Structure 1
């Protein structure tokens, strides 16, 4: 993927600081002074200045020292012979630093004050209600440590950008957010500031959200997990959220099942080997698999042979081989093809700044392996004065005799030599001569040794050159398109050398464990699985033998009229197309960002047009030919990501449309099984901030294949970025814990860095287990025939309106109406108003009738459900308005609780219910996220739950049950017909044990009573 990942900066609010006096002559600045030599250092030190540091310019040379000095001290130094030669920080600098520090401290303190107000049940007078919203709180652990990840978003954020020589420097303007977290008993566990996650790929920077990851301790330290978090803004607003487990602590391992076979990858494979591997597997297991030859051959592991005449280097004892990337060690030859000492031809090196005008580039018409590598060329040292420029061809040897003047000095320019070679009838059939890049070729050429033309490919001869066939292995007991299809494909980027191991390890596990492992057998019997081990086999081979290569080996730079003259061999490793930018949805050709259409040397060059590359067309052919494919996973490295669409936006950051909220939830739902599978191998925990839509957690990738899969073919297109740095290594000698950065070319086996031992092997193992999790998600999808169950739950009442949220037993899209009409999928969807946030509650006025349906990703739809809220007074007339009326007659209160005495206390109140609905239900729930279902006294939570029951006044008491939460309220009473003035007695029960701790003060809890109906 693209090398830029993102920026997480510490939040700093902007405030107007108190007036500060301007710096004066007595204020110091950090100034540089130059000393004649280090011998003068003691003399300077004797002046008594506040020294900062010294840097010696070289042995016996002058010394630069820095010191904090006032205006008078500068004059004192000059009088002593020490001249000031530069300023590190002027005297006004500290004022700016102080203002920035004060503003940050002020913002931090304001946020902490808001947290304290919230703990005391107070709201700051400066609060902007609901201007800060907690959106995620996930606790998890990796192999050594426990973490809490918190996300929130805030209103009123902007960026002020100032142009710089390297781009823009954007300053964050907005509130500071502080977080604190609590255990299940309400005890505070910690607090910290949230950083700002921004996208600097647009101008100005784009605010995404706030987040930070906090280390909680060591794995197995016995400390409790967080239960709730509280976010406070420096503007005084506060929000709370329940914390949840992100990844299971010890997820079951697919590979730990008795007899399960794994660990099939023993080394990295080149392109030919990877595709042969899946062909061989299909031949070995024909009962459950087959090899599918893809329609087109790749561009090929091949290049034209080239050299650059006129650019040479002189080998010497210190540098015997000045151009080490040659196909073979450079040996200089004379005209008799005898080895001699002297100059080395610079076949593929970037020249210095003096030479380019004198360079002649020769490119063979045949590819190197087809004859180009057999050619040689030489600018022959002149032997006579006043000779004319001439070109000759002897066998495969091109000889250029340059023109000379009366003294025998060469006068031919590079441009003249280019014209002469291209005009030669025989030589021009073998090579094309060109000038170097944008240079005019006005420099006089230099004679040198014989220069063999070379394609500069270093793979051994056993690795075939030229275009190659690509194959997919199709695995499944029933491969007729009737089963849900899953498509895994690896190594679109050739330099991501560990990725193909994930695909091959997945294929090996599936075929070799079939019939012995129940889970594998279930997957193969009920899914149709397609695996392409390397989408970019040419780039993969190049990365193993030649140089790190992201792109394929196409050579569109040959079109010099479109891309300029970039065909010299020094540019050879920058030719090619980024295959993951060559697709048709959200592409650079449609105005999206994250690729280049004009620079053929760019790492993200998208090609001549959409689908210009056969490898991309092959990948698309799989998706469009086998229409039963519903899930796909594009496996990249590195960084440890699990992502999905949308993956592209315009320069104005207008993204491809987000999928429905229910579909995004389905992605999250699948992520649970995938990430559990990954962690099961060696405890690698992919972080919450690295899981989600590509543009929310990484960047814009115009024309990527996951967007192609989803928006064009209706396939859930996932992306892996294997090779995370989140695993930790404890040095056995020092006990120090460090995080390993695997990169895109990790060692496969033993490494000099113990932190990365066997990294390539482990990545193939753990992400193959992640693929098993994805296949399980696909199987769950295939078996899903049940509509989702969605309920509307009530929360707090504010300003005469009640907050209502939806809860669902599975990922689903929820559509609702408020005007009494029947909802459809064209109705309003309940979804958040910004990426990665939670949907805001509906704020419903009294007498609102809410109707909704829910549809899961499979398309299973629930029946219409209805709830009515509040009441409407009746008027004289012939109709009866919809009425749901609940009147509570006072708040119940327990008698004083006595510490040390086991007792059960009761309290009661009465109520009256009027309902014109066909049925009605009274529920009670605790909307608080702190001590839910318990009485609380500040941060103290009653040990035993609060219980309740309701009965018709005058009848015998019923059994007491714990008060529920807003999401799962306690059903207290049910009416199967309309009632008017129905008398209720509502009772509460609080049990206190003899050893239950009690804190002086009042224990209380606001509760939400809801009267609802399914038959308005």
Structure 2
């Protein structure tokens, strides 16, 4: 392997270890957990930004590995140098300069994040004001016309709440005595809402049409002939574009409930049994100004349940030779510090900690600063405990019930299931929009689009908009780069409030297959502040257990898509390898072929929206195109449940024709870009649903053929078995019947084609093929006694 290839691979391994996201206090710059007695100033919180680093050489790369800088998914090589996107503080930037690692470009700052939040909040307020009352509908046009090929119904209807994309209008009319209905498309030009419209062919001209809004408005109109006008160019009848801002969890699930209410025959809401820990924290304060004089106080109650009402005061009693004393008045804790003969305080941080824990343990707990011995003398000071949470009061602090939107005409498990789930990582704001947009398209096109009706009638579709609602709320309201959930598994020495942005478990590292607990790379089991912290044990987190529960309860699920961002990747299992880079078992050659064939369909659908191309180098098994991700959920679904499971990384790099460079879009692009990503990857998710439909209707048996086949040969022969479609081939060489326990045709190597069978001496190859839908060649029953398998004898002279 070339030197620069090793360099890039090692950096990818390091990326998997450091993960995505960052703490406000960088691990490389923060105080050590066991601080010494040096009386140092407390580290200050720093602003954070996502930047593009230029790593010039091996020495700098090695230092980056040592420092554990927080990296995103994106790594590029240009002219022998690596360009790596990283989440850093100003102190980290200055430190990296010492090793020749410099910032090439700043991608997003905290100010830009605040602008994103303000943009979103403005959209939320607009939507709330428009949806507060029943909307008014105005029918602008209700016409019919006949051109040289067909007769059309054309409608233009304006809603008083049309400025928000969640406002949906439905038209109903009678055609040849049969009631018909269809959803109208919303037309926006340069940011201005114009109207909703519909144009589709009809078999008979309706006399009238009724329009109804999902907000309660209604209007009717006679249908009149459109005369003397040239007809507009017909547009597709397929309705899209139902999201107009980034949506927090309560909005996502409110939308889901409304869809279930509006479409009760097609939708139900599944409540997951494992509630999240909740968007909540203990109220805390670090009282003091230096490491060995500070006391960390944490409430016993959650902040919103009384912890935020606790205050602590360290006082000089004003008299000489006073003893250390504590009094409590409700939730006000007063500590009279001990004094010497001169009346100066003498109580150390450790002594104050001990007196608090001995007297008010029912109210608070106290520790010295990050394991410090606390030998410094405490100064008089007053502090109010706070949970530091900034979300408005309407964002619940209670444990959250995660839900799945289940869509289908028959939701009894009799139809093949498709699962799409998003936002395992909180900071990936675009990903939930893909699921909501997809749900809206399936439901609002059902009445008038035959393709959509076919999918909904013949499949069981599960969509989970936000796997990680607590972390998502924290990302929206507190710390935009939050990756994990909010559960703090750190001990007392790592639980002061300055570490609050570094707590939580990476839900996509908490599963049981290929986990870090089993020696696979790409997660931490020891560092509770790592952004790829796998948790205290496998499946420790309720959010991860919900996914397991959903797969267990619905064995009809055959396909799944885990939606992430950013980078523009399209991936599948295996997702992890060990320290020797031995991956989890590779799919058979037939299974791999199915992954590629299905991916081709989805990638073409993604490209249809605006031409986005997921690069070949970013398409394939996870470790082949990105890095090892120990304990990821897609591996669990594939290896434990036999579900064909893919991973989207939405947000492909954008090509700048002027600079001739790819530009990263980030986790939270402007909504204009985020909207486009949601639209194109909703195309891709519906592409997966179409694949599931084809799977459900596939009764065609595969065929297979050995080349060369029967015959006499003068030396060793490489036999290749080809199939008529993606299918797994089972074979034997000892003359026995092939079964599902027999050897499979596997890949010949990473990102290579199917292996051949090398025959060195005379042998008979008995074999059969099975496709992804379970169809077996020639109706052969591997569990029975039949012999209608393929058989070729290779005779070596």
Q: Same fold, TM exceeding 0.5?
A: yes
Match of 1:525 in 2: 457
Identify the residue that residue 377 of structure 1 maps to in structure 2: 312
Aligned counterparts, 1:539-554, within 5 A: 539-547=471-479, 548-554=481-487
Matched residue SS, 1:282: helix
Secondary structure of the corresponding residue to residue 565 of structure 1: helix
Alignment partner of 1:405 out of 308, 326, 340? 340
Shift of 1:823: 3.9
Alpha carbons 2:308, 2:387 under 8 Å: kept: yes
**Shift in alpha-carbon separation, 1:834–1:480, aligned structure 2, 3 A:** same
Give 1:692 shift: 1.7
* 1:462-501 mapped onto 2 (5 Å cutoff): 462-501=394-433
Secondary structure in 1 matching 2:346:
coil
Q: Does 1:808 align with 2:741?
A: no
Q: After superposition, where does 1:231-250 map in structure 2 within 5 Å? A: none
Matches of 1:819 and 1:467 in 2, distance apart? Answer: 59
Partner of 1:998: none
Q: Name the CA distance, whole Å, in 2 between partners of 1:161 and 1:852.
A: 53
**Deviations, residues 894-922 of structure 1 (Å, cap 9, x unaligned):** xxxxxxxxxxxxxxxxxxxxxxxxxxxxx
Contact 1:309 1:379 in 2 (8 A): no
In 2, are the aligned partners of 1:476 and 1:524 still within 8 Å (CA)? yes
Judged with a 3 Å threshold, the aligned counterparts in structure 2 of structure 1 residues 641 and 309 are, in CA distance, closer, same or farther, namely: same
SS in structure 1 at match of 2:777: coil
Q: CA deviation at 1:541?
A: 0.5
Q: Which has the larger radius of gyration?
A: 1
Counting only pairs closer than 5 Å after superposition, residues 60-75 of structure 1 correspond to structure 2 as: none
Match of 1:685 in 2: 613
TM alignment of 1:826-837, pairs within 5 A: 826-837=741-752
State the shift of 1:365 in Å. Answer: 1.1
Tell me the residue number matched to 1:647: 575
Q: Give the equivalent residue in structure 2 for 1:259.
A: 237
1:747 to 638, 645, 670: 670
Does 2:648 correspond to 1:720? Answer: yes
Distance across 2 between alignment mates of 1:840 and 1:703? 29
Contact 1:488 1:503 in 2 (8 A): yes
Q: Distance in 1 between matches of 2:562 and 2:270?
A: 19
Of 759, 776, 792, which residue of structure 2 is paired with 1:861?
Answer: 776
Following superposition, the deviation at residue 517 of structure 1 comes to 1.7
Contact 1:309 1:378 in 2 (8 A): no
In the superposition, the TM-score normalised over structure 1's length comes to 0.53
Q: Over residues 219-258 of structure 1, what are the superposed CA-to-partner deviations in whole Å (9 max), with x where a residue is unaligned?
A: xxxxxxxxxxxxxxxxxxxxxxxxxxxxxxxxxxxxx972
Per the alignment, do residues 666 and 372 of structure 1 end up closer, same or farther by CA in structure 2, a change over 3 Å counting?
A: same
Pair 1:393-2:328 in alignment = yes
1:767 alignment partner in structure 2: 681
Q: Please, which runs of 5 or more residues in structure 1 have no aligned partner?
A: 11-99, 101-159, 170-191, 197-255, 312-354, 749-757, 873-1016
Structure 1: distance between partners of 2:306 and 2:723: 67
Quick one: structure 1 residues 406 and 486, their matched pair in 2 at CA, closer, same or farther if it must change by over 3 Å? same
Alignment match of 1:507 (pick from 420, 432, 439):
439
Of the structure 1 ranges 532-541 and 372-381, higher mean CA displacement relative to structure 2 is found in 372-381
Q: Structure 1, residues 752-800: CA drift from partner, whole Å, max 9, x if none?
A: xxxxxx12111111111110111111111111111113233459x9984
Partner residue in 2 for 1:625: 553
Q: Select between 546-555 and 297-306 the one with higher mean Cα deviation.
A: 546-555
The answer to whether the 8 Å contact 2:511/2:633 transfers is: yes
Q: 1:420 to 1:869 in 2, by over 3 A?
A: closer
Q: Select the residue among 355, 360, 363 that pairs with 2:295.
A: 360
Which ranges of structure 2 fall in alignment gaps of 5 or more residues?
Answer: 11-56, 68-77, 83-233, 779-788
Which moved further from structure 2: 273-282 or 589-598? 589-598
Secondary structure class of the residue paired with 1:632:
strand
| In the alignment, structure 1 residue 431 sits paired with structure 2 residue 364 | yes
**Does structure 2 retain, via aligned residues, the 8 Å contact 1:272–1:468?**
no
State the secondary structure of the residue aligned to 1:437.
helix
Residue 171 of structure 2: aligned partner: none
Instruction: Return the offset for 1:836.
Output: 1.4
Other-structure match for 1:700? 628
Indicate conservation of the 8 Å contact 2:713/2:796, yes or no: no
SS at match of 2:471: helix
Residue 276 of structure 1 aligns with which residue?
254
Contact 2:713 2:795 in 1 (8 A): no
Deviation of 1:531 (Å) = 0.8
- CA–CA distance in 1 between the matches of 2:561 and 2:377? 55
**Alpha-carbon distance, 1:395 to partner:** 3.7
CA RMSD across the alignment: 3.2
- Distance in 2 between residues matched to 1:609 and 1:9, nearest whole Å: 28
SS of alignment partner, residue 638 of structure 1: strand
- Cα distance, 1:285 vs structure 2: 0.7
1:852 equivalent in alignment to 2:757: no
- 1:566 equivalent among 494, 506, 513: 494
Contact 1:673 1:776 survives alignment (8 Å):
no
Distance in 2, Cα, partners of 1:870 & 1:193: 53
Which residues of 2 match residues 94-243 of structure 1 at below 5 A? Answer: none
CA distance in 2, matches of 1:364, 1:6: 49
Q: Is the 8 A contact 1:162 1:168 kept in 2?
A: no
Q: Secondary structure in 1 aligned to 2:532?
A: coil
Change in Cα spacing, 1:790 to 1:420, as seen in structure 2 (3 Å) is same
- Point out the structure with the larger helix share: 2
Query: Is the 1:815–1:854 Cα contact (8 Å) retained in structure 2?
Result: yes
Partner secondary structure for residue 599 of structure 1 = coil
8 Å contact from structure 2 (residues 570, 649) kept in 1? yes
Distance 1:585 1:683, change over 3 A: same
**1:529, 1:257 → 2: CA distance?**
28
Aligned ranges 1:271-310 → 2 under 5 Å: 271-310=249-288
1:402 Cα deviation from its structure 2 partner? 1.7
Residues 633-682 of structure 1: CA deviation (Å, up to 9, x unaligned): 11111211111122122323332222222111111111111111111111
Task: Check the 8 A contact 1:257/1:517 in 2, yes or no.
Answer: no
> Which moved further from structure 2: 380-389 or 275-284?
380-389
Native 8 Å contact 1:709 1:717 kept in 2:
yes
Q: Is the 8 A contact 1:579 1:606 kept in 2?
A: yes
C-alpha distance in structure 1 between counterparts of 2:758 and 2:299, whole Å: 73
* Superposed CA offset, 1:405-436 (max 9, x none): 23333211110111111222xx4332111111
Is contact 1:161-1:168 (8 Å) kept?
no
CA contact (8 A) 2:505 2:534 kept: yes
SS at match of 1:703: coil
Contact map agreement 1:556 1:575 (CA 8 A) in 2 = yes
Structure 1's 365 and 168: CA in aligned 2 closer, same or farther, altered over 3 A?
A: closer
Residue range with higher mean Cα deviation, 861-870 or 649-658:
861-870
Q: Which residue of structure 2 aligns with residue 452 of structure 1?
A: 384
Tell me, what secondary structure is at the counterpart of 1:290? strand
1:356 is paired with a residue whose SS is: coil
Aligned residues: 573
Aligned residue for 1:429, secondary structure, equals: coil
Is the CA contact 1:581–1:605 (under 8 Å) kept in the aligned structure 2? yes
Structure 1 CA distance, aligned partners of 2:287 and 2:349? 9
Superposed CA deviations along residues 506-546 of structure 1, whole A, max 9, x for unmatched, are: 11111111121222111101100011110100000100110
Higher relative contact order (CA 8 A, sep 6+): 2
Q: Distance in 2 between matches of 1:668 and 1:195?
A: 31
Compared with structure 1, are the counterparts of its residues 454 and 799 closer, same or farther at alpha carbon in structure 2 (3 Å cutoff)?
A: farther
